[in-house]
Structure 1
């Protein structure tokens, strides 16, 4: 049984999913009556911009290209991209890549009203959320607005085939984190819980296969499908402690996005598990394919996550990415500003211990 009462709002977004679907971009633009797209990439993904330009019919068929998208969507880069979009007379933006490029596309779209078409190449799930996280003056802040949600998302499994294994794993766990929080979100509901369970199960079953067989197309398809569902979950019901802590660590300490989510997930979940309801515990147990969901314990859920991490080439801590032990208290102070709702109240001693464990990269345990 699920918790009552609840409300459910579906986010309107067109999804094209399959293999080779990137070639449908011209048809999508034509359907929307658009003809002057601004193509967005990172500096490392210029070749993907080349591919889009070729598919669209050449340089004369695009308004322009902006290849300076970076992690955490700094407002300075957004202002530069906005000026360029105006100069070239773009009537829409097309972002290809991961969260950095998609974030920039969202930032431009919500400020200008231009249609945003996303072509994800990772499993981050940002493309399915009406949420924008931006960094300014060393602090990352988020806002939610239906206008932020991209209008069209083209998922092409072929674009993920060369995604490095380590990046596939951290990107996949990042998506899993979206769905885990959705299961116990304040606005949670049984529809989103179903999507969350399916999304988590799809990704966590696919990732170990990708470690041993990176070119397994079925596993790549399952991971991308799961990322889509997990993104829908985050975009529908909001965020809690996990995302607040990730935004703190990423925005204020310049830590990599997916790797930070990977390190935080088991510890933030361990902190919250004692306060979750039986239906939420059962949903988490089912998502991780535990044999008996009705009797699953918080310890078994965390143990399942720990075992998954054992099979993946991921870093459990963020110290390797530049976080220092002496910065733990500073991170806790920032995390307590403008707190997100959370099923368990944020207690400074417990939160500090979570941040310490995330920094050190310890195995998660339910003892907070």
Structure 2
């Protein structure tokens, strides 16, 4: 069979080393010649951010970080960066922190150095997201891709096991969605499969030994691969659903992704046999859903959207908002009826295998 595809690789420097974040950040700030640095970190991550930034001069600290990046908070941060004549953004934290840095870069074109403390993967994509009037809008812009990512597993040690699991499964969702994204190709499929393998090995190690770094290194490695694959393949059905659940109903980002993932996999797998086989091989199981569910059981993963405040009376609105955004590339036709059924299953934590026969 002849291979024909169009693949674009995003340019980004990656520095990976446990215990090396402070040294690596100082070296990157020097390499970039930055003089007026703005550090973005939530209140929770401020102490860690100050440790990481100990060897650089910081002109402005910004801690007003909110999940799903409300437009009002983005505009406030943009104004602060402009007022202080910032020439480099450093974000230390999870996806919300990185998202705020991207919101600033989108209008200012300032470079970003991202120092992730979770497995969200936003640091390795050129995708931005903003929420306004209970609607989350996402887009792609090369200006928001961090020029450098500094990975340090020691910075994830404070992430509780429960949140590590949810965040890691968010990364897993990037891997799986890349298998049928609108720009999928053999390269991002290979990266996604390796991401699945790394995350499925790393996350159980974290739950078994939360104070160790071996599992956290594997999870960070897998999260990076998942994000690169996702940035290349584009946003698939899973992410369209979760962006609506988060932006419209303010559900927690990582837990929502972790909960919805098996339902989308069960929904699409029978219609994408090549992708299903690749995912199953990455898990080391005969079937993709079996591999994911075995992992989720080991991790005691999030099970039902109802646990996070979603209710049955919101399903119709969610379906109405999701449907127009579903990519034409999705392997299975999506209708009001079957999308409603998918969300009903995710709401209650029903066995996702029932969706295989829909």
Please list the CA deviations of residues 77-121 of structure 1 after superposition, one character each: whole Å capped at 9, or x if unmatched. 000111111111211110000000000001101110111110000
Question: 1:9 aligns to what?
Answer: 8
Question: 1:73 aligns to what?
Answer: 69
Matched, 1:319 2:306: yes
Question: 1:51 aligns to what?
Answer: 51
Matched, 1:40 2:34: no
Instruction: Measure the CA separation in 1 of the matches of 2:25 and 2:316.
Output: 47
Please list the CA deviations of residues 296-345 of structure 1 after superposition, one character each: whole Å capped at 9, or x if unmatched. 4xxx3212212211111322111111101111111111111333332212
Instruction: Measure the CA separation in 2 of the matches of 1:289 and 1:303.
Output: 10
Q: How does 1:129-208 map to 2 (within 5 A)?
A: 129-208=125-204
Name stretches of at least 5 consecutive residues in structure 1 with no aligned partner.
291-295
Matched, 1:287 2:282: yes
Question: 2:331 aligns to what?
Answer: 343
Partner-residue secondary structure (3-state), 1:95 = strand
Instruction: Measure the CA separation in 2 of the matches of 1:54 and 1:208.
Output: 33
Instruction: Measure the CA separation in 1 of the matches of 2:215 and 2:43.
Output: 28
Within the candidate set 342, 346, 355, 1:358 is matched to 346
Partner-residue secondary structure (3-state), 2:9 = coil
When the two structures are superposed, what TM-score results if normalisation uses the length of structure 2? 0.96
Contact 1:316 1:363 in 2 (8 A): no
Contact 2:323 2:335 in 1 (8 A): no
Partner-residue secondary structure (3-state), 2:90 = strand
Shift of 1:286: 1.3
Contact 1:306 1:363 in 2 (8 A): no
Instruction: Measure the CA separation in 1 of the matches of 2:68 and 2:3.
Output: 36
Instruction: Measure the CA separation in 2 of the matches of 1:344 and 1:249.
Output: 21
Contact 1:241 1:268 in 2 (8 A): yes
When the two structures are superposed, what TM-score results if normalisation uses the length of structure 1? 0.93
Q: How does 1:173-322 map to 2 (within 5 A)?
A: 173-278=169-274, 280-290=275-285, 296=286, 300-322=287-309
Partner-residue secondary structure (3-state), 1:315 = coil
Shift of 1:363: 2.3
Question: 1:293 aligns to what?
Answer: none
Matched, 1:331 2:299: no
Contact 1:6 1:187 in 2 (8 A): no
Instruction: Measure the CA separation in 1 of the matches of 2:80 and 2:263.
Output: 42
Shift of 1:39: 0.4
Name stretches of at least 5 consecutive residues in structure 2 with no aligned partner.
none
- Please give the root-mean-square deviation of Cα atoms over the aligned residues, in Å: 1.4
Instruction: Measure the CA separation in 2 of the matches of 1:45 and 1:283.
Output: 37
Contact 2:182 2:233 in 1 (8 A): yes
Partner-residue secondary structure (3-state), 2:131 = strand
Partner-residue secondary structure (3-state), 2:114 = strand
Partner-residue secondary structure (3-state), 1:54 = coil
Instruction: Measure the CA separation in 1 of the matches of 2:205 and 2:49.
Output: 30
Instruction: Measure the CA separation in 2 of the matches of 1:234 and 1:322.
Output: 28
Matched, 1:367 2:354: no
User: How many residues are aligned here?
Assistant: 354
Instruction: Measure the CA separation in 2 of the matches of 1:52 and 1:210.
Output: 23
